[in-house]
A and B are shown apart, each in its own frame.
Chain A
Amino acid sequence: EDQVTQSPEALRLQEGESSSLNCSYTVSGLRGLFWYRQDPGKGPEFLFTLYSAGEEKEKERLKATLTKKESFLHITAPKPEDSATYLCAVQEGAGSYQLTFGKGTKLSVIP
């Protein structure tokens, strides 16, 4: 069973059409939930870390929220340059260093 599930797998939006990406997780003792953006052939670019349910963080057109079972990445009025794969990752338990990634949501923003 996957510990981190992202949906949808792919999303096409018109420029300016707001939407949300979902990341659900089943780990116990969540240490942190991370959002990254990845362009093809490039390293993941850090966006946000969330640590506790109810926490929210914003950066430009992006807003990340966290509940006890899932996280949402809200994209407001997206632009074509927001097109990328968005990865969610969790870090579980005390003493754990590894990030377990979901399979990502590939976002395409059409002009």
Chain B
Amino acid sequence: AAGVIQSPRHLIKEKRETATLKCYPIPRHDTVYWYQQGPGQDPQFLISFYEKMQSDKGSIPDRFSAQQFSDYHSELNMSSLELGDSALYFCASSFGTGGSEAFFGQGTRLTVV
């Protein structure tokens, strides 16, 4: 069965650079979520989109922005990167509004040096 696809899998950036993470949800899923997981930490919710509109917002820094496109894929744009942004970034997708099962991708490991 098709799963959530994230790219790239690994990314190394320098401080103050910009990064773009991409997420392709499971076919027919219309909701996308972004989470950040630091080393040894639990996933922290950043933002979600339902039918291409922002549906919920968590602890996403102002330096980050995201959007969901007409084909339902999503991109997380991260600017002015800081060392503390180094983490695993997960995308998840589900069908319909909140309350349904969210399936996670394998993540993008971002390292800021």
Interface residues of B in 22-45 (CB under 8 A from A): 31, 33, 35, 41-45
Interface size class of A (residues with CB under 8 A): 20 to 34
Q: Which of the candidate stretches A14-22, A41-49, A60-68, A73-81 sits at the interface with the other chain? A: A41-49
- CB of B90 within 8 Å of the partner chain: yes
Interface string of B31-67 (1 = CB under 8 A from A): 1010100000111110010100001101000000000
Specify which of A31, A98, A102 lies most central, judged by the most chain B CB atoms within 10 Å of its CB.
Answer: A98
Q: Which of B50, B97, B102 contacts A99 (CB 8 A)?
A: B102
Specify which of A45, A96, A99 lies most central, judged by the most chain B CB atoms within 10 Å of its CB.
Answer: A99
Q: Is the CB of B107 within 8 A of A97?
A: no
Q: Is the CB of A97 within 8 A of B42?
A: no
- CB of A83 within 8 Å of the partner chain: no
Interface size class of B (residues with CB under 8 A): 20 to 34
Residue of A nearest to B54 (CB): A97
Interface contacts (Cβ under 8 Å), in number, total 65
Q: Is the CB of A44 within 8 A of B90?
A: yes
Which B residues are CB-close (under 8 A) to A95? 56, 97-98
Q: Is the CB of A87 within 8 A of B90?
A: no
Cα distance, A34 to B98, chains bound together (Å): 12
Q: Is the CB of A97 within 8 A of B33?
A: yes
- Residues A97 and B103 in contact in the complex (CB < 8 Å), given A43-B90, A44-B43, A87-B42: no
Q: Is the CB of A32 within 8 A of B99?
A: yes
- CB of A25 within 8 Å of the partner chain: no
Chain A interface residues toward B at CB < 8 A: 31-32, 34, 36, 41-46, 49, 51, 87, 91, 95-104
14 A-B contact pairs sorted by A residue (CB < 8 Å): A31-B99, A34-B101, A41-B88, A42-B107, A43-B92, A46-B103, A51-B99, A87-B42, A87-B43, A98-B33, A99-B35, A99-B43, A103-B41, A104-B42
